[in-house]
Amino acid sequence: MNTFRKRPLASIFLISGLLLMGFAATTVSATEVQHAVFLRVYQQPYDWQMPWNRKPVRRQTGLALVTPNQRLLTTAELVAEHTLVEVYRPGDRYPSKATVLRTDDALNLALLEVEDNAFWSGLEFPGWGKAQKGEVQVATAKAPDRWEQQAGMLDELKVGYRLRTETWIPVLQVQDVKDSGPAGAPVLQEGRVIGLALKQTDETWSVLHATHLQQFLEHPPSNPNSALTHRGFLWTRVPQPSVTNHAGIPAATVGIWITRILPFGTGSQVLRPGDLLTQLGAWTLNADGQIKHPVWGSVLFDALFLEELTLGTAIELRIWRNGREQTVTATVRPFEPNQALVPSEPAGAAPHYLVQGGLLFQELSLNYLRSWGSEWSKRAPLRLRLYKALEHAALETPSQRVVLLTHVLPDAINLGYQDLSHEVVEQINGLDVSGLEAVHKAFQQPQGKYHVIRLRPGADRRRLILPARALESANRRIQETFRIPQLQRLGS
């Protein structure tokens, strides 16, 4: 069970994007806005059930921040699955084309490039600021020539849960802005950038802190991990005194109960389930996992990953284990999206798949589970949800994945197998399969005259047999019948 959701509601909110409401909005001349640009994005989402197909094109608009090195910074969700990104300087009648250079799905950030040097004329980065409680300014636009200057009040920092990547991120909370704002709107304080608006929810804006923006911009493009430093464990409140009494922990001891260790993140290498964590470095935890921050007051300890705990540094963790208080030393580590058994592919990533004899093979991912909609945790097949629930078990290798037989495209070669779907593949031709690359290699080694696919227990059939000599002609026929551009799209 996901123990994240047992936090007090006052400390938790979903941040799939932006959480802002008061001050009057002032219309401004487009020439007065030099630090932001208008984006119009054409998106064509992938169909994860039939992964060679894409859904109808849709259009979204938002803003981007002009960075110090003539790049543009916006949200990853705004440019996900894009076919075209148009960018307008304030007041422009005609767009320029922008190219997405890289994204960080955990932070929900994307870096864009515009190759036309003339585009940058009149644009300027205003410098980085240090966020404090008080008034902020936001330039917003509903069209390239319709800009407004709005004001709001920054009153707190909270830790938000990003459902898409299952990460916890400290974000600034801005209140009292008159109108809803677009994703990617830069937020300024005293003329300096302190954050980037994500996406509005209710009457509050959630704003990604400037520290995270800078970390993303400085992050080496060759590093596959996120720029987000993150905890490496799940936790809950101590439910009742008998729990600590049974563990030999004094009744007056206050801390949080470690329930699961993640395959990545800070503390994952030194903590164990059943530890009571009472202190991180100089910061003492209360029973709700909060610390006393010098600027923001009581806030979940994840806020320390914003500025106080930097990547690669050591931190002492004070714990109770086996009835004894002790100190263990952890290294501050990042969120590593590829370490999970059921990973979340980056926003906009093309689905990987392989078709052999009409059998469609895919790897289980959060993206695939989300094809059942926002309530996938109730609607997706139970066996797949169980793999998600157990994903934090240690992986034999970082690339280990769950391979699925997701559908069967009806053809004479797979006669009798057409009703199979969402089955977990165990072996192909006697070889264990831990990913699509292994599936591809296994089909190159038939067992005599046949390909033998073995499914995990619980499937309607445990073994599928395909004639090896007929496979190549069947693949050509299936590709033509179902109009599949290519029979495989494997990882790079």
Angle, alpha carbons 217-223-224 (nearest 5°): 110
214 burial level (CB within 10 Å; 0-12, 13-18, 19+)? middle
pLDDT of residue 333: 94
**Phi, psi dihedral angles at 197 (to 5 degrees):** -65, 140
How far CA 104 is from CA of 80, 228, 347, in Å, comes to 11, 9, 9
Distance CA 249, CA 463 (A): 52
**pTM summary value:** 0.86
Q: Which long-range contacts (CB under 8 A, 24 or more apart) does 119-122 make?
A: 119/87, 119/89, 120/70, 122/31, 122/34, 122/89
Distance CA 183, CA 64 (A): 8
pLDDT of residue 392: 57
Q: 360 and 407 in contact (C-beta within 8 Å)? A: yes
Q: List pLDDT tens digits, range 10-60.
A: 333 444 443 333 455 677 666 688 999 999 999 999 999 999 999 999 999
Strands of 262-364 (E only): list them: 276-280, 283-284, 290-293, 297-300, 314-321, 324-331, 353-356, 359-363
Classify each residue of 138-159 as buried b or exposed e, where b means 16 or more C-beta atoms within 10 Å of its C-beta.
bbbbeebeebbbbbbbbebbbb
Angle, alpha carbons 247-253-256 (nearest 5°): 75
Residue 356's contacts (CB-CB under 8 Å, 6 or more residues apart) are 439, 443, 451, 466, 471, 475, 487
Phi/psi class of residue 312: alpha, beta or left (left: φ > 0; alpha: ψ in -120 to 50)?
left
CA-based radius of gyration for the chain: 25
Q: List pLDDT tens digits, range 293-303.
A: 989 999 999 99
First to last CA, the chain: 33
User: For the chain, which domains are there?
Assistant: 30-120 (2.40.10.10), 233-331 (2.30.42.10), 352-489 (3.20.190.20)
Query: How many Cα atoms within 13 Å fall on the side-chain side of residue 419?
Result: 4
Best CA proximity match to 186, nearest among 66, 289, 71: 66
Host H or E run for residue 403: strand 403-408
Best CA proximity match to 244, nearest among 196, 280, 276: 276
SS3 448: coil
Q: List pLDDT tens digits, range 422-443.
A: 999 999 999 999 899 999 999 9
Distance CA 424, CA 381 (A): 11
Distance CA 131, CA 247 (A): 42
pLDDT beneath 70: ranges in the chain: 1-25, 28-31, 179-181, 199-202, 391-399, 492
Tokens of 376: 């996938």
1 burial level (CB within 10 Å; 0-12, 13-18, 19+)? exposed
